[in-house]
Structure 1
């Protein structure tokens, strides 16, 4: 249960920070202005796509939070058998980190108007994401060959469901990334291209965060971290 509270706390902190960056939490009537009029205090409009993405990430975060909660409760039953973590997951994690970093580079490039660097970072992000998905399939194959298949053990079921759900979200992100790349290769509005890149980067960073939380739970790091926090607070 501690894992789910930890996940939700971090998610709430990230959500609050993201909303403040978008200006949704600002109070313009309390902010100073040189002219001192309400007309000068009007905030910049927030793109509806950013609001939509925020809602989508909240839904996805709640989905994984519920599964993590079920995972934490189910593992307390006697029929639970912990399964080994395939070593390829570390390589897959590196690929997802590389993809997220590449999209951050794309966001910087589009702000600077560097078209060549933007195209390179978008390609790098896509290739790294495909490598991550391919590695996940290899991990499934390795586990199946070792006898860790579905319906044999509850731990196996949760692993396949969580990795599969996460992979589907990465696949959906790849669709959005392809559409963003099309805008980079064809003449389009600079503002639209910049918005698309920023939305992709935010979505990718969130998926990386979710994956790191899942990995920390499977390896036991999340439980160790929570125990350390409890010892420090008591």
Structure 2
């Protein structure tokens, strides 16, 4: 339960930070020297695409919160035998972190009107996302070859379920990322790409946060942290 509460707190913090970055929490009428014409130089306007993404991210976060809650409760049973964590998962973590950083940089390039930077950044993000998915397939094949199949024990089932659900959401993000990359290579200007790259960066940052929580569960760090929090609060 503590792990789920910590997850919700972190998700709320990330959502608040993202909203602040988009300018939704700003009160320009309280700022000195504010005039109506300054809006053109302020944060980008709130659009239906941002609202849709925020709602979808909330659904995704809720889904993983339920799965994490079920994981932490089920692991207390006597038949729970954790799977080994392949080294490839750490490589995949590095790829996801790199992809998130690249997308943030790409968003900055779009805001500056740097067309070549946007093209290069989106292409690099596609490569890192695809490499992550390929790495996940290699992990599944490695574990399956070692006898750790889906139905061998509850820990194995949860392991594959968490990784597969995360991979499906990342594959969806990669599809949108690929379409945005093609659009960027066909255009001569970066008009319209600022919002797209910003939304992609926000979505992949959410997937990165979820992946770090999953890694914390699989490696036992989250359980140790939960025990520490329980001792502090008791």
Same fold (TM over 0.5): yes
Map of 1:220 onto structure 2: 220
- How far apart are residue 169 of structure 1 and its match? 0.7
Partner of 1:52: 52
1:211 paired residue number: 211
Name the Cα RMSD after superposition.
2.2
1:35-46 map, 5 Å: 45-46=45-46
**SS of the residue aligned with 2:192?**
helix
Q: Deviations 1:34-84 (Å, cap 9, x if unpaired)?
A: 479xx7898974111111111111100000000000001111111111111
- List 4+ stretches of structure 1 deviating above 4 A: 26-29, 32-36, 39-44, 230-234
- In structure 1, the partner of 2:25 is 25
- SS of the equivalent of 1:149 reads coil
| Residue in structure 2 matched with residue 5 of structure 1 by the alignment | 5
Question: 2: distance between equivalents of 1:105 and 1:27?
Answer: 27
CA distance in 1, matches of 2:115, 2:31: 38
Structure 1 Cα separation of the partners of residues 205 and 27 of structure 2: 28
1:227 positional shift: 3.2
Inter-partner Cα distance in structure 2 for 1:18 and 1:47: 14
Matched, 1:172 2:190: no
SS for the counterpart of 2:176 is helix
Matches within 5 A, 1:1-234: 1-26=1-26, 31-32=30-31, 34=33, 45-187=45-187, 190-232=190-232
Q: CA 1:126/1:40 → structure 2, altered by over 3 Å: closer, same or farther?
A: closer
Q: Deviations over 1:156-201 (max 9, x none)?
A: 1111111001001110001111111122112276341111111111
- Measure the CA separation in 1 of the matches of 2:140 and 2:216: 19
- Greater mean deviation of Cα atoms: 58-67 or 187-196: 187-196
* Structure 2: 5+ residue stretches without partners: none
Deviations 1:125-168 (A, max 9, x none): 11111111011011101111111111110111111111001001
Tell me, in whole angstroms, the C-alpha distance in 2 between the residues paired with 1:230 and 1:101: 33
Deviations 1:3-47 (A, max 9, x none): 111111100111122223333334566x245479xx789897411
Change in 2 beyond 3 A, CA 1:203/1:173? same
Structure 1, unpaired ranges of 5+: none
CA contact (8 A) 1:33 1:40 kept: no
